Structures are given as C-alpha cells and as structure tokens.
Structure 1
C-alpha cells in the first residue's frame, strides 16, 4: 500500500487503536508493522479468523486477558551457547508460557466443535512447551520468587543465624549507657553492605574499628567495630555462596530448556500472530462494525451503507455511497464543509480496514472489492523546500499516482483541478479523468468545477453525486445524493459566516446576469430527488403494513386449515370405528343365516341393521356438510381476495360445466392439486359437489372451489408453488423454523422441506432462526433462498424480533 496515502488517511491511528488492544508489547509492535493485504485468499482467511474469534467470545463469554511479558531477546539469548538466564528472564519466559497456555486452552474449547475454522490449525499447531514452564516453576513461584530449595535452605539458615548474632553484637553497643553517649544515632547504618555505627567525631579513638565514611560536616564518623568486622565478613561470604548457588541453579535450568529453543521461538512467533488477531477482533467488536461482503472481480460493486468515518466517533454522520454496475468514477460536488473530503477519507479508510482484517464502521450489505493499491491526493500541500505551490504539489502527487495505478486501484482525488485558472484546471481535470476511466481504475473525485458536473452526465462509466444542503438552515446535511450534482452554495455560506448582506446581494446580481440554465436544472433535479425520496419512504411504510397484514391473514388461514385437518382426522377415526362395529354385526348376521334357516326374525334384524347404518351415514353426511360450510365461511371472511377468485370461477363459469372424472384440478383456497373422482350430489344450497383425490386422501368439495388444469399446459397454468414436485412424506410446515445447532447441509434440507410444505399448505410467509454466531448458517441459508424458485423475497427480522439472527421468508403466490 502507498505510504503517503496511509499517512493522509490517518490509517496509522487505526493501527494504533488495534495495537492498544494487544496484551503484549511485542504483538502491538507487530500490529504496527503489518500492512493491508493484497491477496483475496489472504484477506478472506484473515477476516474469517477475526470473525471466528468474535464468535468464540459470544459463545464462551469474556476471553482470558493478561499482560504478556516480552521474551524475544530472551529466546535470542537461549540460542547462544554458554549463557545463563537471570531470575527475571526465566520468570518472564515462564509467565509468558503459562498465560499463553491459558489462552490456547480457551481457544481449543471454543473451536473444538468447529474444526473447519482456519483458526483450528493455528491453535493445534502451537508447539508443546509445557515442560519448559514446569522446569521454570519448579525453581520459581508464580510471583517470581525463588522457592525454598534444599540446596539454598542451609545457606539461608546460616545467613539468618549470623545476622541474629550480628544484631546482638550491635545491640551490645547501642544499649551500653557509656557508649550511647558517644553515638550520633542509636540506630546502626549500612555502608557497602556492612553494619556500621554513627560515632561522634570527638570520640573517634574510643571505639577501635574500620572507618568507612565521614559526614560532610565532619561531625560524624561511620565506623565498623573490630568485633563486628568478622561477623560482617561471614555474612558477606555466605551471601556470595548463596549467589553462586543460585547462579549454578539457573545455569543448569538454562541447559535443560535450551534444547526447546526452536519450539519456543515457533510458539512465540505463532502466539504473537494470534495476539494480533485477538486485537483485531476486540477492535471490531468494540467499534460495532460489520465485515464487508466480498465483491468478486475487478468490476465488482463498491457499496457502503451507513458508513461512518472511523476516527470521528459520535460526530460521524453515516453516508451511503455506491458504484453501480458499470460505474468506474463518481464525481462529488456541493458546498464547502458539506462532507466531501470526509466521504473520500471514509471510503479510503474502509477499503484499508477491510484488507487489514477489520470490521468496517458500516451497516450490513456493504460490499468492497480487493484493491491492489489505494492512492489519495487530499488536502492542501505546499513544499517550500522544493519551491512548489499547492497546485504544483498536487500535480506531483497525481503524477506519482498515474505511474502506479491499475484497473484494480482505488484513487481518491480531492478538489481536482483547483488551485489554478478555472478553465485550464477544469480541462486538465477532465483529461485526467479520461485517462483513469479508460484505465478502469475505481475513481472518487470531489470538485467545484461546473464543467465536471456536465462531464458526469455525458461520459459512460461516470456518475454524479452531491452532498445535500438544507436551504432553510443554510447548512449541509452531510448526506450523499447519488446521480445528482450539487451547487457550491458559496454565497449562502459566505452570508452565514459574516459577509455583509449587500456584498452577497451584489454577487448574486453578477451571477444572475450570467446564469445558465444548468444551475436551474440542478435545483429542479434536487427538488425532484427529494420528492422521489419522500414517496419511496412512504411506499416502504405502506409495503411494511401490507406485509404485516398478509402475515396475519396467512396465519388465520393456516389455523383454519389445521382445524379442518383435525376435524377430518376425528371424523375419519369415528367412521373407522363405526365401520369396524358394523362389519362385526354384519358378519354375525351372515353367520347366523348360513348356520340356520332364514326366518322372519333374522330378516327383520338384517333390515334393522341396514336401516340404522343408512341413518348413521346420513347423520355423518349432514354433520360433515355443516362443518364444511362453516369452514368455507371462515375462509371467505379471513381471505376476501381468494374468496373473490373462487366466486369469480364459480358454478356459473364455463370451466365448471366441463368438469369430468379423472380431470386434474386445483382445490381452492389452499391451491392443492388433486384429481376428480366422481360427482357427490348437491349441497343444501343446491351447488354440485365432487369427490377429489388429494394425495392419499379423498375429500368432498363444492364445485365453486375447483379450478380445472390441463396436463399439457400444467406448468403454465399452475401458480409457482405448484410447479415444484412435492413429496407426501414431508412434515407439516411451521411458522418459525429453528436451525440452531444444525450443520449447514442439515439446515438446507430442513429449509427445503419447510418451503415445500409451506407451498402446499398455502403458507406464504414464515421465519427461519439461524442465529448470528459465525455467520455460516446465516450466509448459507440466505444464499440458498436467493436461488430458490419459490422464494419471492427474504430479509432480516426487526431488531426486537431477532434482528440478524432471524430471516423472514416470503414465498411466491
């Protein structure tokens, strides 16, 4: 990436913020060294690992975070022969391994069910350095102190005993009344690690000993009495012996862990890289960004939705900007302080952050292609040392960009053509754009040149945009309007900033004398754009209300169908019981007739049985007709549109008069496909009824609910829901399909069964719970829905109903 662009866009500030979230100074330094990647596979892999780390925190809660000491120089020291680690170095190495092992265990637990994650090989390939940690903490405790080792215990006891004896000797001086008069202080002092007494200078010869120091005033002499000298010497010798023993212990420790040097270096290198990923994940989560979708190919779209400048915090105003298909350059015009330069920097920073493995501060649906370079010429830059004006400095920078730019580059040019004669500057700006558009580089330009506004209308692959300006408040709104150029509004801004009104009015007079129709056209276009935007928002509100109403109607329809199925099941069970009982009675009567002679009594019993059977069947038929008519009325009340269709194709139509047994039909309002079996008489209202075979079930329906279809034109006449082969063994559809805990292939099978069942049952809307997690289920399910012939549309649920963890599906009717 271009270093000057990184400096201009202040990407280093983003890097520093990521580095601040590292637990290791070495990892923070590595973050500052890393640059945005230029390979799609590497970018995709990096973003996936960062996203999976965030998902791991969602699953297991807060990740372990403890400061990691720097051990790079320690590992380099281990590589040299004959060296010995110091206590602090050994402790730092052991502490690094101990805390890193805690992070590794946490990651292993988070990823053991996700072996396909690119993080899994990184975690499982960390070398086993547990023996080194154990060796170190056999000698040191977790606070870095030497343990009470047997080889040190005796020496320490000797030092303690000698120190007590020394204290007794010293007290013999400080408690003696005669000697106390000769001391400046009753408290002993230390000089060069040896105990001495502060003796008044005039008593110097009264106590024999070695003088270590005389005070600056000459009034005090620090003397070591001769009987204390020997004790001090013994303590010094024991302390030297202790230090030698400690040195021996750490020399042997170093020899034992030296063979692990390569494994330690690999562990250190891989774990620092893992730390940079964890820092990226923390930054992405804390900034509440989203990972930009991959935009394939050089010609892929660049779409930023509700993008915010990542360095402005709460002051950032979200913007929407998009390079539509075939658009390679966007020219942004409008007033000063309207946000044009901030827009350029926002787009550039989002591109760099995306290729650095970070979530960008934007909304879902944002897409970014891969850029082999991001080049920017933003701001006023004069070079006194090179005698360059602002315009010359811009030209030098742009010349450097032209040398490096390719079709895969993103180029950001602020105030193109400014700083010189407007006519020449505009001509030069158009020539530069000609070159870059022909190169097919992605180009974002801001300008005040009116000639470039016309350029955006007359050149293929170029689109105008503007920053919106509120004429009432005389202030910018910072919104980006695609497809419309903007006015500079210099006079309005000048008036607001204190220029006298008479001067501004005189300027307006000059403009009105030379005003062209273009300015009027721009104003008209902006007003039309506002009207269209208002209508669009109103249409969205109405569409949302219609969707909600359709959902309620479909829910009522589903409840009616379920009630009808339940009633049919109960009626069928009762009828089966009645048939079984009747069959047994009839078999008994037949057996009695066969076994004996036919008598009048037996004949009477047969007639009574047949009469009761006929009476029961008549009651069942009347009951079923009443229930069917009630359900039909409920259907018509809950779905007036379908009722209208049914009545429109009622018994008076020509189609109904031509119904024949064996004909393929649709049964309304559920639009179930069936086959006519036979006529079934007339209902109480006098309407003809038919027996229709729907799958393995035969039902009786009125002729007004039947629509004939022709086999040879079946796919053209059937609704979309009937063009897919539906199996009879699928489970009934549900209003809310829960996929959490499933693998992707299982989830897609469940979605297919749900769509088929919903299409057959007439359920046009349902929801799918896939959770947020790593986004694997979410992306896989939505990709599947996007290509399904029965799906009309789908969208995430409202935040209070599940947000990004739930998708609402609308089927074609």
Structure 2
C-alpha cells in the first residue's frame, strides 16, 4: 500500500482517533506502526482479536490496563550491567503487577466465554511474583529505599538519626539560651549543604565560631554551623556517604535480578503492548458503534448503512453500496457538493480499516474483501477551471496507478478527466475505465460528464450511480443511489432562483432531444426508487412496531406471572395464619377437655384427643417454598466503584478511600491526608463501602452529641492540625453548622498560614477569614461551610 493512499483516504486520521483509545505508550507505538495486511489469514486473525477485545468490554465494561509501563530501556540497560534507579525498578514492579492483573482478568472471562487469541497471548505473560515482591520490599511508593532493605542500611540510618538528634539537641540548647537568642535572626534550626546551621545576625558572626555556609539576599543573616557541632556534622556526612553506598549496593542487586529475567520481561512487554493495542481497537469500535465485517478474498464487497468515521454522527448520511458481483465498476455522476467524494472515500477507507483489523461503522453483515492494492486519485477541488498543471498532476498519478493495477486492486477516481476540454476529458475517462476494467480490478469513478451515463449502460459489469438531489430545497440529500445516473438540475435550480421562463425555454430548445429524454428517464427512475425506498421504510417501521408489541406482550405476561405468584403467596400466608390460630384454639379446648375429664372422671380417651389433633394438622394447606433471592455473585473487583469504597491506586500501589465521584471515569481518592483525582482504570476495588451509611446521616444528626462551634488546634503542628480540621469539618457539616471557628493562636503565624492554605482547597469550605473583634482576631480563622 502506498503512503499517499493512506493520506488521501484519511486513514492516518483514523489512526489518530484510534491512538487516543490506547492506555499506554506501548499500545500507541503499535498503532503508529499499524498498516493494512494483504494476507487473508492474517486479516482474519486481526479481526478475531478485535472481536475478542469487544467481547471482553461488553462483558465487563472496563479492562484493567493501568500500571503497564515501557520498561524496555531499563531491561536493556540492566542486561548490560547498568544500575537502575528506584523509579525504573518501581516501573518494573508495576508492569509485573499490571500484567498479572490483566492475565487474571482474561482468565476470569474465559472460564465461561472462550477468548482463544487473548488467552494464548496473555498466557505467555510470566508473573515473576518474586521479583515484584523484592522490589516492593526494598522501595516504597515514593521511590525511597526503605530501612528494612538490608540490615546494614537499617543500622546506618539508625546511626544517622542518632547523630542528627545530638546535633539538634546542641543547637536547641544554643537557641534557647537567652544570651544567644539576641544574636539570632530567628530561633530556628535549618540546613545548608546538608549540614545543620542556625541563622545568625551579621554583627555576631564571630560569636559562635565554626563555618559560614550561606547568607540571606540582604546579607543581614548568616547561616553558621557552630564549632560545637562541626565534628558531629562531619560524622553525619560520613554516615550519609556510607548510606549512599549501601543504597547503591541494594539497587545494583535488584538491577542484577532484573537482568537475569530481562528476556522474559521484554517478552511480557511485547505481549502487554499487543493486548493494549487489541483493547484500543475494541474501544474504538465501541465508540463508532461499529461491527465486524464478513471477509472474503474474491473481490466482493457490500456495505450496509456505512458511515464515514470522521464525520460527526449527527451529520453523516449512511450509504449502501455493492461491488464485485453483478458489476465490478461504478460510475457516479451528478453535481458537486452532493457527497460523491465522501462515498468514494468511505469505500476505500472501510477496506483499509478492515485489512488493518478494525471494525467498520456499518450494519452487521457488511462484506469486505482483501485487496493487494488500493489506489486513489482524489483532489480537493474538482472543476473545469482547474489549471493545466493540476490536470498534469492527476494524469501523472493515474499513469502510475495504471502500471500497478491487477485483478486484486481497488481503484478510486474522483472527477476523472476533469480539468481539460469536456469532449476530450470524457473520452479519456472512458478509455481509462475500460483499461482498468479489462484487467479485472474493482473501480469506482466520479465524473461530471454526461457521456459516461450512456457508457455505463453499454458496458457489461459497469453500473451507473448518483447522489440524490432534492429539487424542493435545492440541496443534495447525500444519499447514494446505485443503478440511477445523475441528471442535470441546472434548469430546475435556475427556475427556482428566478431566471425568466423565456430564457429557460430557449435553453431547453438548444438541448438535444436525446439528452432531454435521458433526463426524463432518470427522473422517472429516481421517483420509482424513492417510492420503493418509502415502502421499504414503512415495512421496516411496521416490523419494529410488531417486535415492540411482542416485547410488550412478553413483559405483561411476565408481570402477570409475578402478580399471580404474589397472590398465591399472600393467600398461603393468610391460610397459614388462620390455621395456626385455629390450632392454638383447638389446643386450648383439648387442654380444657383433659382437665374436665380428670375433674369429673369422664371417659374421654387420650388416643381420641391425639387423633383429633392429627386431623387438625392434616387440614393445614401445603405451603410452597419461597424463592430464594438471587445472590450477587459478581466478584468484588468487577463491581462498579462507589463513594466509600476502599481501593488501591495501581500506579502508586497505595490503599485509599473514594471520597467523591468526578464523573463515570474519574474519582477523588483520599490516601492518608492527601486527596487526588484518579482515573477509574487506575483503581482496584478492595472493599465495598459500608451499606446504608448515606441513609443514616439524618439519624446520626439527631442522636450524636452536638458539634461545637469552634475547634482549638493550638500546640499542634500543621500536619496533625489538618487531620483534626478535616474530621471536624465533616462533623460540622453533618451537624448542620454553616459557620465555625478554628483557633490556632498567633505564635509565629506558621500554623495559621498552614491552616488557611489547606482550607483554600477543601471541598466543604465556601470562604474563610481571620476573626474580627471578639472572634479571636489573628489567632482564629472563621470558616463558612458550603
């Protein structure tokens, strides 16, 4: 296939749309490399793979493709003895996890619904659970090598923490000293060049000795490492170097483990890339409401209600066309802007899509064939005013096509012969079509020339076609009419636009009688076709009404059966209640009779009482067993995500809770104190939300203790304060409060600044301000809730 054909038929734009459906760079890379295949078996395999992907999407809704990374560069570098960084190692672990999850997903489907190609593909993915666990044990989700990665690292970091504690203790003694505080710009400990320092005023630079590491922009403050802590800082530096060496040793060991299985990992990546590519094709088919075409290698195609994929669904006009059976060439005539070019492109584009393994936006049962070559000569502008250079360009392109054409080619010519003298152009168009037709190729050509209408009637296996034109509105309907040639609408248009009838009559007299008769015949054909089409639509509507009536009858019968069952159950319940009441009364009477017999020594036999009780029991009607409600057997990880669910964020491998739903494909998740928006395919459901929580809010409001109007967080650091505020605001909202006060004190002002920075992004906060007179002033923040 020629690259020019892909551009002309806009296949490259289809690939752009398809690329947006891929979940990883691996899938997008496969799409960029996608090209139509001319091998019938390969095309069938591609279509089967897309169909299996569509089946999985239909059964489960979403496919877990999150967490898969392009780890090929890391694997190759590890294979050459290089050291991978923590991010690269986490990508390896994430890809192993994502691959295992996708493999399990497909296996869960194939237990009931066979997906042979996907099962074979993902069956090649090796889990390598041991390597994944080693990486996750050594590196946390933030990309930090953890203390437990090795005993040496744990010991070194313990020593580092001890040394840091000693340095801080010495420096804190200094900054707490009343004599020292006047020499400090701020009573704080900070870090410069990885060494602990204190901010000293310029005029007291010699009071502490030690080393100056930095100064403020104004020069008024020097950051000095006092002499008293220089030795401890030196020890700390040595310990950190030892820590770096141990971390490097751990990363080298993990990189060596990756190198051992690099070939397996690379094969895993290739399989996962193919799986992402397959599901991208399936997702694209779903978005287009596409169907799988029936394939053949006999040069036959039949498109039913085909819709061009690049035209919006509310504007596209479906086409019906058949080629390769009773006729192998179609000549489409008619005026510009009628949709001829779109119909031409649709046929060529559908063929390219099918040969690439893509489903087509057409009704089920559409048939496409495998071509060895698809060639197109389609220009953006078609008119007799085209310059000679444009005509020459088209002839050069057509000349190249004629050299390659064979009986397994599809040739698409738009405005064939245009751009030159009408007589010569028409003759040239007929000669070119004859040449291509004689070589057995399938051909579709559009033209303005009326001479080609008669040409199609005179040639076997060549048929006329046109695009419908509505004379009432003077607009094309864009419907392709196969079997009816296009006719000139110039007189009709001119008449409706106000051209004098005298001029029109003279023009009609100048037109040859044969052409007038031909136009009359074409008009009759169009009218007959419209009537047939209207009758077909009426029959189709009647069929739909009958199907709807049948569905309604089935629904009413089911409802009648359910109502009958409910009545039976109600009657049985009433009967059971009546019998139980009668039994209780009978027992009471029998008990009284026994007592009476004993008192009066009457001769009532016990066996007669037992027999009477038995007869009462036998009178109880047989009660039907109630149907047990169906159990929800849907696995947890396949249930829809809801607010309150406990989930795992796959890309971070962290647990969290869904606190808000952005839309069907995105949720807000809280991990510790952090809230973030996460895509649905990046979430794995671990535990469902507790039932009835949302329905109990009113009850909670009425039974819990009243929420206080203020929260005192003085003495807390910012992080602890945020945890308290978040919980307090939730309780305040549930308690019906609209305004609350958060008391943070004045102090250094850091706590108040941190609180207000957090409140800016809080979902429940409408506005906030510092307290006014009588409200705590700058020591409190007044919060208005939504």
- Could you state the TM-score of these two structures normalised by the residue count of structure 1? 0.62
Task: Report the 3-state secondary structure (helix = DSSP H, G, I; strand = E; otherwise coil) of the residue aligned with 1:146.
Answer: coil
* Whole-angstrom CA distance in 2 between matches of 1:505 and 1:242: 102
Q: Determine the structure 2 residue equivalent to 1:33.
A: 33
Over 3 Å counting, the alpha-carbon distance change for 1:520 and 1:194 in structure 2 is: farther
Change beyond 3 A, Cα 1:490–1:127:
farther
- 1:195/1:491 Cα in 2 relative to 1: closer, same or farther (>3 Å)? farther
**Aligned counterparts of 1:217 and 1:401: Cα–Cα separation in 2:** 77
Q: 2:70 touches 2:269 (CA, 8 Å); kept in 1?
A: no
Counterparts of 1:190 and 1:441, CA distance in 2: 79
CA apart distance, 1:142 = 5.6
Other-structure match for 1:91 = 90
Of the candidates 501, 510, 522, which is equivalent to residue 525 of structure 1? Answer: 522
1:47 corresponding residue in structure 2: 47
Q: For 1:635-685, what per-residue CA distance to the aligned partner results, in whole angstroms no more than 9, with x for missing partners? A: xxxxxxxxxxxxxxxxxxxxxxxxxxxxxxxxxxxxxxxxxxxxxxxxxxx
How many residues of Structure 1 are paired with residues of Structure 2 in the alignment?
541
Distance 1:388 1:239 in 2: 78
Residue in structure 2 matched with residue 181 of structure 1 by the alignment: 182
- Write the deviation string for residues 87-128 of structure 1: whole angstroms up to 9, x where unpaired: 111100110110111001111222245668333322323345
Q: Does 1:200 align with 2:181?
A: no
Q: Within 5 A, what are the aligned runs for 1:1-400?
A: 1-80=1-80, 82-113=81-112, 117-141=116-140, 144-149=143-148, 150-151=150-151, 152-298=153-299, 301-314=300-313, 315-323=315-323, 325-380=325-380, 389-400=389-400
Question: How far apart are residue 321 of structure 1 and its match?
Answer: 1.2
Counterpart of 1:330 in 2: which secondary structure?
strand
Query: What SS class does the counterpart of residue 116 from structure 2 fall into?
Result: coil
Contact 1:491 1:504 in 2 (8 A): no
How far apart are 1:343 and its partner, in Å?
Answer: 0.8
CA contact (8 A) 1:378 1:413 kept: yes
For residues 18 and 157 of structure 1, do their structure 2 counterparts lie closer, same or farther at Cα, with a shift above 3 Å needed? same
- Do the aligned residues in 2 keep the contact of 1:53 with 1:278 (CA within 8 Å)? yes
| Greater relative contact order, per chain length (Cα 8 Å cut-off, separation 6+) | 2
2:40·2:297 contact (CA, 8 Å) conserved in 1? no
1:133, distance to aligned residue in structure 2 (A) = 2.1
Q: CA deviation at 1:83?
A: 1.9
Give the drift of 1:11.
Answer: 1.2
Are the counterparts in 2 of residues 56 and 111 from structure 1 also a CA contact under 8 Å?
no
1-structure distance, mates of 2:544, 2:184: 99
User: Are the counterparts in 1 of residues 65 and 276 from structure 2 also a CA contact under 8 Å?
Assistant: no
Where do residues 390-789 of structure 1 align in structure 2 (5 Å cutoff)? Answer: 390-489=390-489, 501-502=498-499, 509-510=506-507, 512-535=509-532, 537-538=534-535
Deviation, structure 1 residue 368: 0.6
Distance 1:212 1:148, change over 3 A: closer
Cross-structure match for 1:587: none
Contact 1:381 1:390 in 2 (8 A): no
The separation in 2 between residues aligned to 1:53 and 1:494, in whole angstroms, is 54
Change beyond 3 A, Cα 1:163–1:388: farther
Once the two structures are overlaid, the 10-residue window that deviates more, 149-158 or 266-275, is 149-158
- Greater CA deviation, 360-369 or 214-223? 214-223
- 1:389 match: secondary structure: helix
SS at match of 1:190: strand
Q: State the distance in 1 between where 2:115 and 2:399 align.
A: 46
- 8 Å contact from structure 1 (residues 199, 221) kept in 2: yes
Question: Structure 2 vs 1, CA of residues 197 and 544 (structure 1 numbering), >3 Å: closer, same or farther?
Answer: closer
Q: Distance in 2 between matches of 1:126 and 1:330?
A: 49
Shift of 1:447: 1.0
Stretch deviating more after TM superposition (125-134 or 454-463): 125-134
Distance in 2, Cα, partners of 1:508 & 1:260: 87
1:454-491 Cα deviation digits (max 9, x unpaired): 21111122111000000111111111111111135356
Distance 2:378 2:332 in 1: 14
Q: Partner of 1:213: helix, strand, or coil?
A: strand
Q: Is the 8 A contact 1:305 1:363 kept in 2?
A: yes
- Counterpart CA distance in 1 for 2:540 and 2:377 is 44
Contact kept in structure 1, 2:290 and 2:359, CA below 8 Å: yes
Tell me the CA shift for residue 352 of structure 1.
0.9
CA offsets 1:399-452 (integer angstroms, 9 cap, x no match): 222233222111211111111221222121111111111111111111111112
Partner of 2:187, secondary structure, is coil
Instruction: Describe the SS at the equivalent of 2:64.
Output: coil
> Is this contact kept in 2: 1:159–1:235, CA < 8 A?
yes
- The offset of 1:35, in angstroms, is 0.7
Counterpart-to-counterpart distance in 1, 2:361 and 2:61: 23
Name the larger-Rg structure.
Answer: 1
Structure 1: distance between partners of 2:146 and 2:543? 76
Q: 2:516 and 2:204 mapped to 1: Cα distance? A: 105
Superposition RMSD in Å: 3.0
Query: Alignment partner of 2:466: what SS?
Result: strand
SS in 2 for 1:199: strand
CA contact (8 A) 2:307 2:361 kept: yes
User: Would you say the 8 A contact 2:79–2:260 is kept in 1?
Assistant: no
Aligned pair in 2 of structure 1 residues 289, 493: CA closer, same or farther (>3 Å)? farther
Q: Aligned partners of 1:456, 1:286: CA distance in 2, in Å?
A: 39
Change (3 A) 1:171 1:539: closer
- Deviation of residue 191 (structure 1)? 2.5
Aligned equivalents of 2:523, 2:438: Cα separation in 1: 30
> Gaps spanning 5+ residues in structure 2: where?
550-786
Any gaps of 5 or more consecutive residues in structure 1? 553-813
How far off is 1:495 after superposition? 8.7
1:333–1:488 contact (8 Å) kept in structure 2: no
Q: Distance in 1 between matches of 2:75 and 2:305?
A: 47
In the alignment, is the contact (CA less than 8 A) between 1:196 and 1:222 conserved in 2?
Answer: yes
Q: Which residue of 1 aligns with 2:611?
A: none
1:767-794, CA deviations, whole angstroms, 9 ceiling, x for partnerless residues? xxxxxxxxxxxxxxxxxxxxxxxxxxxx
**Matched residue SS, 1:487:** coil
1:23–1:67 CA contact under 8 A, matched in 2: no
CA deviation after TM superposition for structure 1 residue 542, in Å: 6.5
Aligned partner of 1:790 in structure 2 is none
Asked if 2 retains the 8 angstrom alpha-carbon contact of 1:85 and 1:250, the reply is yes
Q: In structure 1, how many angstroms separate the alpha carbons of the residues matched to 2:274 and 2:174?
A: 64
The alignment partner of 1:419 has SS state of: coil
Pairwise CA distance, 1:144: 4.7
Question: How far is the alpha carbon of 1:303 from its aligned partner?
Answer: 0.8
Query: Does the CA-based 8 Å contact 2:350-2:360 persist in structure 1?
Result: yes
CA displacement, residues 121-163 of structure 1 (integer Å, 9 cap, x when unaligned): 2232334533332332232346655344152322222222222
Per the TM alignment, residue 533 of structure 1 is displaced from its structure 2 partner at its CA by 4.1
Q: Distance in 1 between matches of 2:137 and 2:177?
A: 48
> 1:294-346, CA deviations, whole angstroms, 9 ceiling, x for partnerless residues?
13423xx2111110010112221111111152412111112211111111111
Q: Which stretch of the first structure deviates more once superposed, 223-232 or 472-481? A: 223-232
> What is the CA distance between 1:505 and its match in structure 2?
8.2
Shift of 1:494: 7.8
Q: CA 1:179 to 1:338, structure 2 compared with 1: closer, same or farther past 3 Å?
A: same
Shift of 1:44: 0.5
**Corresponding residue SS for 1:440:** coil
Give CA deviations for 1:259-311 in whole Å, capped at 9, x if unaligned: 2121111121122112211111111122210111113423xx21111100101
Q: Secondary structure at the match of 2:261?
A: helix
